[in-house]
Amino acid sequence: IFLSALPEWDKKIQNAFLSLYDSLVWECKAKGKPSPSYSWLKNGQPLTSEERIQIENGTLIIPMLNMSDSGLYQCVAENKYDTIYANAELRVIAAAPDFSKNPVKKMSVVQVGGEVTIGCKPSASPRAVINWRKGSEVLRQNKR
């Protein structure tokens, strides 16, 4: 007796919305007899391992995303009986720092010798690097 089975998904890829420079790991797994082989498509075109992109079996790894990585991806699993597709969109997001949701106070009233906390929480993608200045002087972290 020889058993055969069409490929069937155990694990599919899901849509991802990630920041510029983030890493992506997508894994898809299928079962079938004979065991399925895997390939990847981006916007309908075959995707291969290269300097920036690693493909190992059903796993796609992009260690540092850039804007051109956005697109529609498909993991393809096939054996001699059938071919199945799992689809997902990758959207790489880049946004300049925006203070509209967490504005920085223009003025804080503090007693001489008192303590003040000034919050700085911009939304940005990737995460913003924050520097503080007093006039043109760059402030460094110290005991105060």
Query: What are the backbone dihedrals phi and psi of residue 27, each rounded to the nearest 5 degrees, phi first?
Result: -125, 130
Residue 143 has a pLDDT of: 67
CA atoms within 13 A on the CB side of 109: 0
Tens place of pLDDT for every residue, the chain, 144 residues? 567 899 999 999 999 999 999 999 999 999 999 999 999 999 999 999 988 999 998 999 999 999 999 999 999 999 999 999 999 999 999 877 777 777 777 778 888 888 877 787 777 777 778 888 878 888 887 766
pTM listed for this prediction: 0.72
CA dist 126 and 94 (Å) reads 6
What's the CATH number of domain 5-93, 1.10.540.10, 2.30.110.10, 2.60.40.10, 3.40.1210.10? 2.60.40.10
Question: Which sequence spans correspond to the domains of the chain?
Answer: 5-93
Handedness of CA 102, 106, 109, 112 (dihedral sign): positive
Question: What DSSP state is assigned to residue 67?
Answer: G
58: exposed, middle or buried (Cβ count in 10 Å: 0-12, 13-18, 19+): buried
Q: Distances in Å between the alpha carbon of 137 and those of 90, 128, 134?
A: 41, 20, 5
